[in-house]
Amino acid sequence: MSTQISAEISETTKELLESFVKNSGLKKGFVIEQAVLSYIRALNQLPADVLVPAKIVLSHKSAGQVVRHLRRSPRPTPKLRQLMTDED
């Protein structure tokens, strides 16, 4: 049994896919399914602790602190100032 999906992809990727299926004679659906499976398999080879999640959601308190510091940055520590003004 199969099902249908739709997805927004870039024009470049679409052209690459069209060109590949034309040259290889493979069906578009087959190529897409294999590509998705390969991608997931590759990611699964990485242990979870190696992946660095891109989306970060902070607690209300921490988010408030970060937003406040966007407007008014804390003064640098002496150690940071020393490191950043060191010419080497």
Partner 1 sequence: MKISIRLLREADDRTTFHSGDIELDRFFEKYAGQNQFRHHIGSTYIATIEETSDILGFATVAPGHIDDVPLALRSKLPRYPLPVLRLARLAVSEKAQRRGIGAALMRFVFDLALSLSVDYGCIGILVDAKPVAESFYAQYGFYPVQIIQGQSGTRPRAIPMFLPIGTIRLATKKPGI
- Residues forming contacts to partner 1 in the complex (CB under 8 A) are 42-43, 45-67, 69-70, 72-77, 79-81, 83-86
CB of 88 to partner 1, least distance (A): 9
Q: Considering beta carbons, is residue 7 or 57 the nearer one to partner 1?
A: 57
Q: Considering beta carbons, is residue 11 or 79 the nearer one to partner 1?
A: 79
Buried b / exposed e along 7-36 (16+ C-beta atoms within 10 A): eeeeeeeeeeeeeebeeeeeeeeeeeeeee
CB of 38 to partner 1, least distance (A): 12
| Six-digit token string for 51 | 């992946």
